[in-house]
Each structure stands twice: as C-alpha cells, then as structure tokens.
A and B are shown apart, each in its own frame.
Chain A
Amino acid sequence: MNDRSTLLEIRNLDVSFFLDEGTVEAVQDVSLEIYHHYTLGIVGESGCGKSVLSQAIMRIVPPPGKICAGQIIFHGDSAPTDLVTLDGKGKSIRKIRGKEIALILQEPMAALSPLYTIGNQIRDALVQHHKLSGREARERVLDILSEVGIPKPEVRIDQYPFELSGGLRQRAVIAMAIVCRPQLLIADEPTTALDVTIQAQILSLFKRLKETLNISIIFISHDLAVISEIADEVAVMYNGRIVEQGPADKVFSEPLHPYTVGLIESVPKLGDASKERLSAIKGNVPDPFMRMKGCSFHPRCPIGRDDCTMENPKLTNVLPERAVACFVVEQEMTGTAGPQQNAVE
C-alpha cells in the first residue's frame, strides 16, 4: 500500500498549558509515526488534545501552552530535523510551516479573515515561500482553486469569505493549505462544520489530493465514520494520551481498549431494528486540572480493576501492528501485564 518510509516521527511528546488555575497536561507521552503517502486518523472527544497535538507539530501552540518534552522529527527535503528544538518564531520553522507541513484549521469561517479576498489569503504562502510576482501567484492560485474543485475560479478568487457557501469556504481553506504542495497536511476537524453531503465531497477531495499530490495526511476528527472512511491507521486519544492504535479497519471492527469499544457502541447503526437505547460511555471527561493517578479512563471504565489506579498503562503492542494502553486488555492478550509487575521491579 505504501513504501513505509518515515516522514514524521513524534516521540514522547508532552504539551502543557500553564494557567493561573493550574497546569493542564493537554498532550502526554504521545508517540506517533507518519509515513510517506499515508493517512493517519486521530479520534477522540473534544478536549482530548487532538488540536493541541496538531498545533505542536506546527510549533504554533498558543501561550500559555508549551512543549515540555519529546521530539518531533521531520524527514523533509533536508536532513531530519527535530522541530521541538527550533525557535518557534525563527526562520527555519517558518520555512517548514505552510511549505512542507500545512495545517487546515477547524472552522472554515473563522480560519479566513473577512477583510481579504480568498485569493489574497491563499496567495500569502506562495509569496512567502516562493517569492512569486503578483501575476504568477494569481495564476497558481487559480490553478489551486480549480484543483480543489471550486467552480469559476476566476470569479471566486476575488470574492470575500462571506460571499461563499460553507463547502466552498472549506475548499478555499484547503487550497490555502496545499498551495505550496506540502508533504504533510494536518487537517483538524475539516468536515465537522459541514453538512453530510458536503462532508462526503470534502472527504473524496482529500482522497484525491492524497493521490495527486502524493502527500501524507494527519486527519483529526471526533467522527468515527469519517475517520474509518479515510484513514490507513487510527490513533484513539483520551485525555491527552493515545490509548489505542492500529490499522483503521482492525480498530473499528475489533476494538481493544474499553474506551474505543465505548465510542463505537455509542454510534447508531443503520438498519439496527432493536429498540434498545444507544449505549453511552458513563461519566464525564476528567477535570483537566486534576492529575490522576493511574489510568485516566479508570473512573468510567466498565472492565477496570482496583489496581488500574496505581499507575498509567503504557501503549504496548499486543498484536502485530496493534497497540493498546490498558492493563486488563494487555493481560488478556499476553497474559503478562499489570501494574503489580512493574511495582515489584
């Protein structure tokens, strides 16, 4: 399916927000690998750290947020670079931003300034990275607009965001991200604000772009259906940590982590005639200011044991290509896991 050479490697990344009320550990000990020509889906509910993770890769985590530990190694055009070591406002990271790694932000309306035409906003990155003249830049913007499926680009290029429909705006935002032909595209909830038919169109646009531009995509969503549609591999995030990871089809057909199981069961199934209530994961997302001892899913976990509160389970490979962070599942699958074992050491 792909050549499996690494494009981006995240190792043990910690991102925290230092607020007056306390410290929020938004991303904790996250390790991921993204290959060339590859789509990684990241799923999780609101506030689980998905967006912060994407901002961390771009090095644009807004203050008071800070990357506290870890590495983000990017194998771009030049030698592998650890993005964490770069100056967040410096030239070297700005040469990567928008040119080699691009970000599509959540809401298409808010990601565009109402004061400039979409052509003007798409042109920014071109002028920044390629020093194109106005005329050349306009040609490129027109090309990119038709590439993302915006009809009548020569009209749309001079229109303001408020003159476009939601779907067209989202396409413009995508055009803004891919205009410099990045190798990695991070899409943060790119379909959330759209209705279902437009969602399907945008998804097929992403699939097409992946083929035509030969890029890798990190696709972030809370929508399991969307992720299963597009991703090669899925990482499930809960409370800042990755709790399960594996090939998309496997994770959705045989979820291992109790949180993933809960997520999948809470989605209504078409044609399910039973009148049973849809199951929901009981309880609430833990208070972000509270540092929990042990597994943070434990209070809501249907299979949790008393010893789950002792320490945090590490993401462990339990099957080929499949990893899970749960003592109970790990013990079931391999027979040799549990916090006690580590505690003895």
Chain B
Amino acid sequence: MINYIIRRIFYMIPTLIIISMISFAVIQLPPGDYLTTKIAQLQAQDELINVDLIEALREEYGLDQPIYVQYGKWVWNILHGDFGYSWEWQRPVEEVIGERILLTAIISFTAMFMIYLLAIPVGIFSATHKYSVADYLITIVAFVGLALPNFLLALLLLFIGYVVFDVSLVGLFSSEFANAPWSVAKVGDLLKHLWIPVIVVGTTSTAGRLRVMRGNLLDELNKPYVMAARAKGLSEVKLLLKYPVRMALNPLISGLSILLPQMISGATITAVVLGLPTTGPMLLGALRSQDVYLAGAFILLLCTLTVISTLLSDILLAWSDPRIQYE
C-alpha cells in the first residue's frame, strides 16, 4: 500500500509537467499577446500609441522571446516559488490569487460534503423504497435538479431572496466585510453567505449521485449475497449497510476525483452570476486578456488539485475494495 502511494505520487510529476506545457501553450494559442490586447484597449480609447514604448514593454515582459524560452523561465521561477507577475492587476500572481483559491476551495469542499451527505442516504432510501410515492417524488426532484442549469438556479435564488426576503444574496461577504482582514466576525459572515453558492454548485451533482446511488444499490439488492446475509438472521438495516450499500458506494468513491474539477469549472458561471470573489471569474478574465502568468498559475493549481484528488480517491477505493490490486 505504502509503495503504491509512493509510486502514484511519483507518477504525478510527469503528468503535471505535461499539463503545464499544454496549458502554457494553449493560453498563448490565440493570435497576439497581452500587449496586443492592451493596444486594442488603448486604441479604443483614442490614445496615441508610442511604438518604441510597446517594443520596450514587449522586451521587458519577455514577449519577444520564443515560447519555449518563456515557458522555461516560467517553470524555473515557479520552482523557486515565484508564480510571476500579473500584468493586468499589476501585482505578483501569488498576491492576486491567494484568497480566491482559498474561497474556491471552501465552496467546493463544502459542496462536496453536502453532495455526499445528501445523495447517499436519500439514494439508499429511494432504492429500498423503489416505486413508492416517496421514490417517485425524489426522482422528480432529482431530475429537475439535474436538468436545471447552475446559472439559472443562481438567478432564481437571487430573485427569490430579493423579492420574498428582501435581501441581496450576491457575493460571499456583506459589504462591510468584503475588504476587511480575516476575523471571527468575517468567518461568520462568510458562513451566512456560503449556502447559496454551495446549493447552486452542488445541486446538479447531488441529483446525479443520488441517481447513481439508487441505481447501483438496486443492482446489488437482488444479489445472492444479500439473500445469504438475510438468511443468517441479520436485521434489514444491518445487512443493508454491511453488504449491498458498501458495494454500491464504490462508483461514488471513484467519482470523487471527477467531482472536484467539475465543481470548480461549474462554479465559474455561478461565480459570475453571483459575483463571487472566487477563481472562476478571474481565470476567465486572465484568459481573455492573455495575462499569461495569472492564467497559467490558476490552471496549474487547479490541475494539481485534480491530480491529487484523483490519487486520494484511488487510495480510498483501494482501501474500500479489497479486489483492487496494488501491482
């Protein structure tokens, strides 16, 4: 087991190198660079453009060098803890993204927690009460949840909050805390606002996983080993949890690794609609203006998160299912 984990961590290194290369190249794929965007903006404002100044800036930013040199410098600096400089924000990348990564992680992990906390028990109930009124109700709600796009749900919640309760649910903080330093009161304020994005981000996945849980469990419930357990005299709840449920959980465990990137990318649209200070909108902006180091840092961090969560879910699965071999 230990060997397996060490080997898997070792495999993460080439994966991340390849991801960093591809993402760096993809960010630069659109014609032009950050300065072209900048020039277009200035031209739109009828400002005079000094050609010498542009050349000087291009040199300063290293944009005149071939892409592999730019990539090499970028990676070299990251290895030394320097993620580069965001041209658009005029600040080092670490400073710009630090808090946003934290807030994104808080929303994503809370949502994941909620997804599994709801989907597993409700899925079990739905499967064991197949074709009952409650099962049909759950099924209907789940399908609506699956079909409803995140942004629409966000708008609906905002609308209901505004019209019915006369509160603005935009953002993650009340205005007085938005730019305040972290404090207990600010954390409390965050918790007050957190549930909206968590519901918005988590609904689709909750509904999906609920259906997966129900379907898996229905497959398992008729297996002979369940009947064998029943023939031993175990109570229904006990045998259900020990045998078929444990078996039906496996696809949900392996699904953990896909969930995290899904939630982060799904959260982008939600964050734009809800005005959340998370990574999504900022990454979108950085990609549009070709703010290379900011976009690159985001993508690299999110990919690292994905690779780590894949590893974690694999380890969890190997631990829960003895049939999985470590060789």
Contacts and interface: CB of A to CB of B under 8 A. Distances in A.
Interface of A: 55, 58, 60, 62, 89, 94-99, 102-103, 105-107, 110-116, 124-125, 128-129, 160, 162, 173, 176-177
A113 B225 contact: yes
Nearest to A107: B224
Given A95-B233, A110-B223, A111-B224, 20 more contacts: A55-B227, A60-B227, A89-B236, A97-B232, A103-B228, A111-B225, A111-B227, A112-B225, A112-B228, A114-B322, A114-B323, A115-B321, A115-B322, A115-B323, A124-B229, A124-B232, A128-B232, A128-B234, A160-B323, A177-B231
Nearest to A97: B233
Given A111-B224, A115-B246, A98 B236 contact: no
Interface string B305-325: 000000000000000111100
Q: List 4 tightest A-B contacts by C-beta distance, closest first.
A: A98-B233, A98-B232, A97-B233, A110-B224
Contact of B228 (A96, A105, A115, A128): A105
Contacts of B243: 113, 115
B227 A105 contact: yes
B91 interface: no
A129 B231 CA distance: 12
Contact of A176 (B222, B232, B235, B321): B232
A176 B224 CA distance: 14
A303 B163 CA distance: 84
Contacts of A113: 225, 229, 243, 246-247
A69 B236 CA distance: 25
B288 interface: no
Contacts of B235: 89, 94
Contacts of A112: 225, 228
A89 B242 CA distance: 17
B8 interface: no
Interface string B34-67: 0000000000000000000000000000000000
B322 A97 contact: no
Contacts of B73: none
Nearest to A60: B230
Secondary structure dominating the interface of B = helix
Contacts of B227: 55, 60, 62, 103, 105, 111
8 contacts: A95-B233, A97-B233, A98-B232, A102-B232, A111-B224, A115-B243, A115-B321, A160-B322
A115 B243 CA distance: 8
A160 B243 CA distance: 14
Nearest to B235: A94
Given A115-B247, A160-B322, A160-B323, A98 B231 contact: yes
Residue from the set B223, B225, B322 with the largest chain A CB neighbour count within 10 Å: B225
Nearest to B221: A62
Contacts of B323: 114-115, 160, 162
Contacts of A89: 235-236
A58 B231 CA distance: 7
A22 B224 CA distance: 24
B232 A62 contact: no
A154 B322 CA distance: 19
A60 B227 CA distance: 7
Contacts of A62: 222, 227
Nearest to A162: B323
B224 A106 contact: yes
A115 B229 CA distance: 13
Contacts of A114: 247, 321-323
A97 B321 contact: no
A132 B320 CA distance: 26
Contacts of B230: 58, 60, 97
Contacts of B231: 58, 60, 97-98, 102-103, 105, 177
